[in-house]
Structure 1
Amino acid sequence: MTQRKNERRGLGRGLSALMADIGVDAGVNDPVSEAPQQRAGLQNLPIEAIRANPDQPRRAFDERALEELSQSIREKGIVQPLVVRPVATEPGKFEIVAGERRWRAAQLARLGEVPVLIRAFSDQEVLEVAIIENIQREGLNAIEEAAGYRQLIDRFGHTQEKVAEALGKSRSHIANLLRLLTLPQDVQNMVVAGTISAGHARALVTAPDPVSLALKVAGEGLSVRETEDLARRIGHPASQKRGNSRQKDADTRVLEEDLSANLGMSVVIDHRAGGEGQVTIRYQTLDQLDQLCQLLSSVR
C-alpha cells in the first residue's frame, strides 16, 4: 500500500530536478557541450554491460540518422554521457535511463566502452526522463508521444493537468494526442509511417469508419481542413441533407476533445441555443461499454 501511494505522489522529485541531474539540456552529441571528463561521477562502462530500457517510449530509430551519429562518435567520441541505473536483479548490469541513440550508435562505431553517469532512479523517474529526453531531443512521432503520456497517466495516476504542467505543454496538446490512441491500430500505423499527419488523424477520431477515411485521405492527398469536412459530412449525413448543420463553437469542440481523451471513446456534444442539448458517447467494444458503466456508477 505504501509503495502504491509513493507512485502516485506526483511527478517524482520534479522534472526540473531530474533534468538538472542528468544534464538533459545539453546536445545529444554537441561538441560545445561539457566534456565527459568534466562531469562529476562520470565513469566508463563496457558497452555489453548496458542494456536498453524496455519501457523506452521510442520504438523506431532512423537507421540513417544512427549511422550519421556513429560517424560523429568515431571522430569526436561521445561528448554527452549516457545516464544509466543499476539492474537490481543482475549485478554488474545497467539499464539506460537517457541516451539509447548514443548507445546504439556507439555499437555501430564498434566502441568497447562508453562514458556514463550512474543514478539510482525509480521506475517512475526513468519513464519521465525517457519521455522528456525523446520529446526534447529527437522528436517522438505523435503516437509514440501520446503513448508516453498515457503511461504517465495510467501507470502513475497523474492527471492531464499535472502532466501538462510538469512537461511545459498545454492541456489541450496532451488531450489531443491522447485522442489518437482511440483510433484503430491501422490508422495509428499510418501516423507513425507519416502517411497521414496527426492533424488528419484527430479529424477522424469521431468518424464511423476511420480506417476507410484515412485511406481516402492519403490516396487523395486531402488537407486537414478537407478531412475535417469529410468526417463531418459522413458522421452527420442527416443534418447535411437538411442543410441545417450548425458550426460548433471552440469551447464545445475543446470539451468534446477533453471528454473523448479522458474516456477513450468518441464523444459528441449537441448544444442548442436554448441551453439544452445531448451528449453522445460511441463505444466500439463491450469492454468499453462496461468501462463506461463503471465510470457512471462511480459518480456521486
Structure 2
Amino acid sequence: MATTDRQATTLALAHALSAAERGLAVIPLSRTKLPALRSPHRGQPDPGPCHGECGRFGHGVYDASTDPVRIRELFAAAPWATGYGIACGLPPHHLIGIDLDTKSGTDSSAALRELALRHLFTIPETVVVLTPSGGRHLWLTGPSDVAVPNSAGRLAPGIDIRGAGGYLVGPGSRTEHGVYGTAPGTARLPPAPCPPALLRLLLPAPRPTHPATHPSAGDHGQGLVQFVLAAHEGQRNTRLFWAACRAYENGIGPALVAPLIDAALNTGLTEREARATIASAARMTGHRP
C-alpha cells in the first residue's frame, strides 16, 4: 500500500474515533464512498437477509459502532479504507442527513430555501459538511420514535435524504474526488433538531386507502386510521406519527387519539408506544398531548 494510502487510513480512523466520541456510529469506507468491507455472504446461493447476526464484518451500516475497540477492528480488517461513514437514524442523535447535491444541474440550496418559505420552517444552525463536488450535507436530529426513510430527489431535485439504514460520509474522509470537511464554524455544533414542518415532508405520504370503519373516526379521520392499520413491521411508529401529525394539523387530533391507538394496537404496537408517538406528534404540531 502506498504511503499516502496508509496516511489516509490512519487519518480516517482518527476522525472516525473522534466522531464515535460524540455518539456517532461509524464504519470504514473505501475511496468510492462505499463500505470498505464486502459482504461475507457474497457468492452464496440465496443466503437470505443477514444484518450481522453471523458475527462477521461486511454488513454495511449494520457494522456501525461507537465502541473504539470495534472501530479499530473494523479498520484493521479494511486497511485500504480512506474514509468513514456515519450511520443515520441511530441513538442518541437519530441523525438525518440533508444532502444538497450539485451534480443534478439544479440549485438544491435554493430549492431547500423555497421549501422552507412555502412550508414555514427555518433551517437551524447545525453541522454542515462540504463535499469535494461543491455540495453540502446538513446534519439534523429526529425523534427517537420516528424512522425517516432514505430518498433521492423526492423532496426536490438535487436533494437526497439519508435516514434510517443510510449513512453520511464523515468529514475528514478522502475519496476519489477529494476530501470531505466541515464548513467553518460548524465543526463543534451539535446536530440541530429537524424542524417539525420539514420532518413531516420527509415522512412517506399515505397511499390511497379504503375508508376505515371505526365509529369515532369521522369522515376526515377514516383514511388516517386506515393508513395506520396498513402499516407493516418497521413502519408502524412512522405511519402512526405521520397520521397523528395530520390529525392535529386538521383540528381532529384529540378526537382521533382513541381510534389511532386502536389501529396501532392492531399493528402490534403497545398502548404505551402508541400514546408516546401520538404525544410526540402533538408536540411537533404545537398542541398539548
Instruction: Classify the TM-score, shorter chain.
Output: under 0.3
More helix, by proportion: 1
Structure with more relative contact order (C-alpha pairs < 8 Å, separation 6 or more): 2
From the CA coordinates, give the structure whose radius of gyration is larger: 1
TM-score (norm 1): 0.24
